[in-house]
Structure 1
Amino acid sequence: MTGFPVPKLNNNDTTYVLVEWLAEDGQAVRDGDPVVLLETSKATEEVVAPHDGVLRRLLAEGAECEPGQVIAHLLGPGDETAPEGPAGTVAGAATTDSTGGDGRGPGLPAEPGDSVSSGPGLPAGPGASGPGGPGGAGAGDGSGVVVTMPARELIEAHGIAMERVYALGRKIIRRADVEELLGGPSSATPQTTSTAGATTTNGDASGSALPSTAGQANGLLAPAQSAVHSATDSALNGAEPDDDAQWITLSRAQQRTAEVVERSRREIPAAFTVMTVDVTEVLSLARDLTRRLRALVGLPEMVVKATGGLLDRFPVFFAEPGPGPRPRLRRAATADVGVTVDVGRGLFIPVVRDVGDRPLSEIAGDLAGFRKTALTGSFRESDLQGGNITLTLHTHDGIVHAVPIVFPGQTCALSLTAPRPEVVPDGAGFAVRKTAAIGLAYDHRFVNGRDAAEFLGELRSALESPARFLTENG
Structure 2
Amino acid sequence: MTGFPVPKLNNNDTTYVLVEWLAEDGQAVRDGDPVVLLETSKATEEVVAPRDGVLRRLLAEGAECEPGQVIAQLLGPGDEAAPEDPAGTVRSTGSAESAGGDPRGPGLPAAPGDSVPGGPGGAGTGDGSGVVVTMPARELIEAHGVAMERVYALGRKVIRRADVEELLGGPARPSPTGSTATSGGASGSDRPSTPGHVDGLSATAHPAPAGSTPNGAGRAEFTLAEAAPDGAGRDDDAEWITLSRAQQRTAEVVERSRREIPAAFTVMSVDVTEVLSLARDLTRRLRALVGLPEMVVKATGGLLDRFPVFFAQPGPGPRPRLRRATAANVGVTVDVGRGLFIPVVRDVADRPLAEIARDLVGFRKTALTGSFRESDLEGGNITLTLHTSDGIVHAVPIVFPGQTCALSLTAPRPEVVPDGSGFAVRKTAAIGLAYDHRFVNGRDAAEFLGELRSALESPARFLTENG
Could you tell me the TM-score, scaled by structure 2's length?
A: 0.81
Equivalents in 2 of 1:23, 1:242: separation in Å? 49
Equivalents in 1 of 2:416, 2:365: separation in Å? 36
Amino acid at match of 2:134: T
The answer to whether residue 177 in structure 2 is matched with residue 173 in structure 1 is no
Amino acid at match of 1:93: S
Amino acid at match of 1:418: A
Question: 1:389–1:411: 8 Å Cα contact kept in structure 2?
Answer: yes
The answer to whether residue 149 in structure 2 is matched with residue 147 in structure 1 is no
Out of 421, 429, 441, the residue aligned to residue 428 of structure 1 is 421
1:71 aligns to what? Answer: 71
CA deviation map 1:356-391 (0-9, x unaligned): 000000000000111111111111111111100000
**Are the structure 2 counterparts of residues 81 and 139 from structure 1 closer, same or farther at C-alpha, using a change threshold of 3 Å?**
closer
User: Where does the alignment leave 5 or more consecutive residues of structure 2 unmatched?
Assistant: 125-130, 170-181, 195-213
The answer to whether residue 144 in structure 2 is matched with residue 159 in structure 1 is yes
**Are the structure 2 counterparts of residues 431 and 333 from structure 1 closer, same or farther at C-alpha, using a change threshold of 3 Å?**
same
Structure 2 counterparts to residues 234-313 of structure 1, below 5 A: 234-235=230-231, 239-241=232-234, 246-313=239-306
SS in 1 for 2:242: coil
Equivalents in 1 of 2:329, 2:120: separation in Å? 43
Out of 323, 329, 341, the residue aligned to residue 322 of structure 2 is 329
CA deviation map 1:136-171 (0-9, x unaligned): 877588425742377469758x93526456665987
Question: 1:161–1:191: 8 Å Cα contact kept in structure 2?
Answer: no
Out of 448, 463, 470, the residue aligned to residue 456 of structure 2 is 463
Question: 2:65–2:107: 8 Å Cα contact kept in structure 1?
Answer: no
Q: Between 346-355 and 22-31, report the one with greater CA deviation.
A: 22-31
1:190 aligns to what? Answer: 192
CA deviation map 1:98-130 (0-9, x unaligned): xx599846xx625xxx995499xxxxxxx877x
Question: 1:159–1:221: 8 Å Cα contact kept in structure 2?
Answer: no
**Are the structure 2 counterparts of residues 93 and 355 from structure 1 closer, same or farther at C-alpha, using a change threshold of 3 Å?**
same
Structure 2 counterparts to residues 74-473 of structure 1, below 5 A: 74-84=74-84, 90=90, 92-93=91-92, 104=100, 109=103, 117=108, 139=119, 142-144=122-124, 146-148=132-134, 151=137, 159=144, 161=146, 163-164=148-149, 172-174=158-160, 178=164, 181=167, 188-190=190-192, 216=219, 219-221=221-223, 223=225, 228=226, 231-235=227-231, 239-241=232-234, 246-473=239-466
Equivalents in 2 of 1:467, 1:220: separation in Å? 45
SS in 2 for 1:258: helix
Give the drift of 1:409: 0.6
Amino acid at match of 2:445: A
Aligned pairs, number: 423
**Are the structure 2 counterparts of residues 458 and 212 from structure 1 closer, same or farther at C-alpha, using a change threshold of 3 Å?**
closer
Give the drift of 1:214: 7.7
SS in 2 for 1:221: strand
Question: 1:159–1:191: 8 Å Cα contact kept in structure 2?
Answer: no
Equivalents in 1 of 2:307, 2:106: separation in Å? 54
Question: 1:319–1:330: 8 Å Cα contact kept in structure 2?
Answer: yes
Give the drift of 1:343: 1.2
**Are the structure 2 counterparts of residues 248 and 312 from structure 1 closer, same or farther at C-alpha, using a change threshold of 3 Å?**
same
**Are the structure 2 counterparts of residues 27 and 314 from structure 1 closer, same or farther at C-alpha, using a change threshold of 3 Å?**
same
Give the drift of 1:86: 7.6
1:9 aligns to what? Answer: 9
SS in 1 for 2:243: coil
**Are the structure 2 counterparts of residues 189 and 214 from structure 1 closer, same or farther at C-alpha, using a change threshold of 3 Å?**
farther
